[in-house]
Amino acid sequence: MSGARERILTRVRERLGSAPEEPAPSREPREVRSGDVGEFCRRLQAAGASVERIAEDAVPQAVARYLAERNLAARVKVSPALANLGWAEEPLLETAVGVADLADSAAVMPAALGVAETGSLVHASAEDNPTTNHFLPDHAIAVVAEETVCADLEAAFSAASGPVMPRTICLITGPSRTGDIEQRIELGAHGPRTLHVLVTAPVPERGPTSAT
Amino acid sequence: MMDGAAAARFPEASARALGDENLQAALRLLGEGFQARRTDAVERFAAFEDARDAAVAAKTRTLRHLDRHLETFEARCREHGGVVHWAETPADARQIVLELLTDRGVRVLSKGKTMVAEEIGLNGFLEANGIEVIETDLGEYIIQLAEEAPSHIIVPAIHKTMPQVADLFRQHHDQTGAELFPRRTPADLVAEARAVLRGRFLEADAGLTGANFLVAETGSSVIVTNEGNGDLTQTLPQLHIVLATIEKVVPTLADGAAILRVLARSATGQDMSAYTTVSTGPRRPSDVDGPAEYHVVLVDNGRSRLLGTPAEEVLRCIRCGACMNHCPVYGAVGGHAYGWVYPGPIGAALTPALLGVETARHLPNASSLCGRCEEVCPMRIPLPKIFRYWREQEHAARLNSGRMRLGLAIWGWLAARPRLYRLATGAAMRVLSRLAGRSRRFRSLFLASGWTQSRDFPAPAGRTFLNSWKQRS
């Protein structure tokens, strides 16, 4: 449609006339404060996710335990970014690293950030972090470090978009749902039926693992 | 498919809707459904009014320099490897999408919910050209099976009851060999649709989504969904096409954040929808998933002509649906009566701009100007003011009935002569009050048959408001 661009933009300019330039009153991201991690967990739970706070070296055990408690098969697709978490320590848990497909009922993937304001996980796609794994499996298990929890949406967008904009930034706030039949909310429309979030705390070097 | 002509038949269609028992049963759920949920969400969020102001300011600022933001969007999108197409008309937009698909040999297209696709009549056009379209939003899927148009902008199948959906699934799924469910609860039906559509996401060669907004500074499209279908649609196939109208652009991601703060709360009463996804260009060379191609079709279809007119504030709309969820007229007749893509108050304000006031003149009249829509609109669009603007256009173009014009002329003549007006209305009130007798109601009344056909007309108290006011002071 050659010329369409010019015709549209010309019409817009004619209609607008000349408006004075005005500074963008964009809201500054809020600073992180104590209590933001708790707020993040509380809101995420309110959105229908389950949340567990663990030490950062305890992910494989937490995943195995979660699947066992729910009577789910001890088998997960692991996003490449999480390939080196020491999965061998859980010999009964079958893991495969890569992009999820229809055969995967559960997947474990990282979140780049948490957002206290909304209780959202922030997924940023990357070569070791496929977007598919967040959406295709029935059960999503996300790992997010507590020190990445930021205050609000502005802070999340600013952190996730720089310095190189990923193909996909996705704010995930609870499991998939729909209200399309008689306005009743049902979980598990097309994306995950359950979302379990492991919020990890750093382990002090060579120190004893603190009990949570 | 909806043609615009149906918008001209609002009076007949609304009368039919009032007698449709299934529709009435479905509409009765609005009060405890979306209305109550929005009220709760707003009460939970102390800063809601501030957030509304911020969202309105962001969008107002955008529209004032729309040309520049569109150019920035295009440049940034291209820098990230995306392609931007411009379409003035629905026909242009359809053709651009068709060529993108046929040039790549696409046979199956999966589709997220987009009102712009409804607006340009995309599905019928693509199907006529041999492309299979799979609606993946549950509501859109239901109405695709029923071969109907959406009746609500965020809950397309809101007019269907659960048994009606179960019947549709029985007709369409029983022969497919898909996993079947008991169909006793909404949960059963959701599970069945999930099972049927699962494999279809992977079959599609291309995915098409709309955009809740576009971000100029990054050249991104953003979709806000709850089901996750939109993300599967824009992640799994090799080609991702975004359809968006030109007023959807905002300058920055921070402006997007301002809109997100009011969108879900107003729409579904959630603090945040389950998935808010920013897509920028195609997959990066080292990415392990995502589409190889990313195209954005920017559609004007009448938006640019609206700028600078008294109706331009409709361009702030973020399509949350709050106005229709709270409208007594929408609540009584549902969305199909409006005859075109956008029902309810936003439709009554937007449709005359897009289809012409000749076709859509009844819609802005389908309001008592009660103002509830403006009250709940997160973007503070003065919908009743815009209805009045279209009514004035209708009158100026002499499209309303002779009887209506005569009535308005008499009233206008009288209202311009205050003393005579008071005398005449005072006398009329006294006479009517006396005529009403003991019942204080009229079963029928000269010149008011439109009212008394369906309900009694209450008798006036015997004097006018002005009389009472004078006595009071």
Give the C-alpha separation, A94 to A115, whole Å. 31
Residues of chain B contacting A168 with CB distance shorter than 8 Å: 235, 277-280, 290
CB B277 within 8 Å of CB A169: yes
CB–CB contact A4 B88 (8 Å): yes
Of A105, A120, A97, the residue nearest A51 (C-alpha): A120
Contact B446, B435 (CB under 8 A): no
Cα torsion B57, B63, B64, B70: sign: positive
Q: Establish if A206 belongs to a structural domain.
A: no
Q: Looking at B104-185, list the stretches that DSSP marks H as alpha helix, in order from N- to C-terminal side.
A: 115-119, 122-128, 138-145, 162-173
| Domain tally, chain A | 1
- A–B interface: beta-carbon pairs under 8 A: 247
Q: What is the pLDDT of residues B312-340, one digit of tens each?
A: 999 999 999 999 999 999 999 999 999 99
Give the model confidence (pLDDT) of B217-248 as tens digits: 999 999 999 999 999 999 999 999 999 999 99
Let me know if residue A34 belongs to a domain: yes
CA separation for the pair A46, B216 (Å, rounded): 33
Could you give all domains of chain B from N- to C-terminal order, each with its CATH number? 4-160+205-303 (3.40.50.10420), 414-472 (no CATH)
On whether residue A53 sits in a domain, the answer given is yes
**Quick check: is A187 in a domain?**
yes
Residue type for position B307: L
HSE of B157, CA atoms in CB hemisphere, 13 A: 28
The total number of residues written for chain A in this structure: 212
- A95 within a domain of the structure (yes/no): yes
Q: Which CATH number goes with the domain that contains A106?
A: 3.40.50.10420
Task: Mark yes or no for CB contact B190/A46 under 8 Å.
Answer: no
Confirm if B314 and B306 have CB atoms less than 8 A apart.
yes
Closest to A66 (Cα-Cα) out of A140, A132, A175, A176 = A140
pTM for the structure as a whole: 0.93
CA distances for B330 relative to A186, B32, B321, B337, B343, angstroms: 25, 16, 11, 9, 8
B residues 251..310 contacting A (CB < 8 A): 251-258, 260-261, 268, 270-284, 286-290, 298, 300, 304-305, 307-308
> Nearest residue of A to residue B53 by CA position?
A25
Give chain A positions within 8 Å (CB) of B137: 180
Instruction: Using CB atoms, pick whichever of A17, A178, A182 lies closest to residue B226.
Output: A178
Each residue's pLDDT expressed in tens, for chain B with a length of 473 residues: 456 789 999 999 999 999 999 999 999 998 889 999 999 999 999 999 999 999 999 999 999 999 999 999 999 999 999 999 999 999 999 999 999 999 999 999 999 999 999 999 999 999 999 999 999 999 999 999 999 999 999 999 999 999 999 999 999 998 877 777 889 999 999 999 999 998 889 999 999 999 999 999 999 999 999 999 999 999 999 999 999 999 999 999 999 999 999 999 999 999 999 999 999 999 999 999 999 999 999 999 999 999 999 999 999 999 999 999 999 999 999 999 999 999 999 999 999 999 999 999 999 999 999 999 999 999 999 999 999 999 999 999 999 999 889 999 999 999 999 999 999 988 988 888 888 888 888 888 877 888 888 888 888 887 788 888 888 86
Q: pLDDT tens for residues A141-187?
A: 999 999 999 999 999 999 999 889 999 999 999 999 999 999 889 99
Instruction: Answer whether residue A189 is part of any domain.
Output: yes
Structural domain of residue A188, as residue ranges?
29-201
Q: With contacts defined as CB-CB under 8 Å, which chain A residues touch B278?
A: 157, 161, 168-170
Has residue A208 been placed in a domain?
Answer: no
In angstroms, rounded to a whole number, what is the distance separating the alpha carbons of residues A184 and A120?
A: 23
B192/A contact by beta carbon, under 8 A: no
Residues of A in contact with B193 (CB under 8 A): 189
In whole angstroms, what is the distance from residue A83 CA to residue B298 CA?
41
B136 interfaces chain A, CB cutoff of 8 Å = yes
Domain membership flag for residue A14: no
- How many CB atoms sit inside 10 A of residue A208's CB? 7
Do B54 and A27 lie within an 8 Å CB cutoff? yes
- Minimum distance, in Å, between the CA of residue B221 and any CA atom of chain A: 10
CB B371 within 8 A of CB B384: yes
